[in-house]
Homo-oligomer: A and B are copies of this chain.
Amino acid sequence: MDLDDTDNSASSAVRGERAASQTLRAQLMLRSLIIGGELKPGERVSELQMVDRLGVSRTPVRAALIHLEHENLVEALPSGGYAVKELSEPEILVAIEIRGTLEGLAARMAAERGAPADLIAAAHVVLEEIDRIVLPGPRPNGLERYVRHNARFHDLIVDMAGSDTLARQIERAAVLPFASPSALVPMEPGSVETHQSLLLSQFQHRIVLQAIELRQGARAEAMMREHARTAHCNLRRALIAGRKLAELAVASLSSNS
């Protein structure tokens, strides 16, 4: 069978991933289709249709669907098969709260157990990089760099907790489009409002890191929780601004490498 992706309508999602397994390719492409809105919420995801669309056979498509079910992006229909899960605003808020709660737990564990020195140092470096982005003032193009460093900081906090189980659980909670720490993409790139929001987030980053260093578990946890609630504001703003879900796909996909 022809396995290259020359005629693949969703091949842009797997740029540079052509060596990966068919299952992973199907998973990434399906995620992209769902988050990008090309598959409407509530719509049935026909396996054969996906075979035509993704260029892989039914087996990897089916495996990808099982994975996506656990990621809360599709749900199993009672009569068999899967449908794109419709995300209500309250459920997204809950997902954000779950992520914040678990990241708060990670921060507290890091503070109570003590975080490895190299991770602390790496976090300081990341925060200084963010400083160089946000301190000079609002500038275009700084947003995507911020998102990258922000995601790295969150990953470092989770790593400091030293638990693979916790890391996985957090990763799963952050799959939903607006629940990811990188979900501030819909913000207006150059606006003063955006810039102030980033400054506040950076303050929170510093407090979390300081609390972890000082072994202040409760403080680290509370601040991390509050920090996650920044996403609430972003979601509210995005819902008011209109449907720009497609933009989120890139950030959401790039954050789980």
Known: A63-B63, A72-B168, A95-B165. 17 other contacts (CB 8 A): A59-B59, A62-B63, A66-B66, A67-B70, A70-B172, A72-B165, A90-B163, A91-B163, A94-B109, A94-B163, A98-B105, A98-B169, A101-B101, A101-B105, A169-B169, A169-B172, A169-B173
For A62, give the chain B residue with the smallest CB separation: B63
Number of copies: 2
Q: A17 CB to closest chain B CB, in angstroms? A: 17
How many Å lie between the Cα of A122 and that of B172 in the bound state?
32
Contact (Cβ within 8 A) B63 A165: no
Q: A173 CB to closest chain B CB, in angstroms? A: 7
Residues of B within 8 Å of A91, CB to CB, are: 163-165
A14 at the A/B interface (Cβ < 8 Å)?
Answer: no
How many Å lie between the Cα of A59 and that of B166 in the bound state?
30
Q: A40 CB to closest chain B CB, in angstroms? A: 20
Contact (Cβ within 8 A) A70 B72: no
Residues of B within 8 Å of A72, CB to CB, are: 165, 168
Determine the interface band of chain A, counting residues with CB < 8 A from chain B. Answer: 20 to 34
A62, A91, A94 — most chain B CB neighbours (10 Å): A94
Contact (Cβ within 8 A) B94 A165: yes
A-B interface, 8 closest residue pairs, ranked by CB to CB distance from nearest: A70-B70, A94-B163, A66-B66, A101-B105, A94-B165, A91-B165, A95-B165, A94-B166
- 15 example contacts (A-B, Cβ-Cβ < 8 A) are as follows A62-B63, A63-B63, A63-B66, A66-B66, A67-B70, A94-B163, A97-B105, A98-B102, A98-B105, A98-B165, A98-B166, A101-B101, A101-B102, A101-B105, A102-B102
Interface residues of A in 79-121 (CB under 8 A from B): 90-91, 94-95, 97-98, 101-102, 105, 109
Give per-residue flags for A36-75: 1 if the beta carbon is below 8 A from chain B beta carbons, else 0: 0000000000000000000000010011001100101000
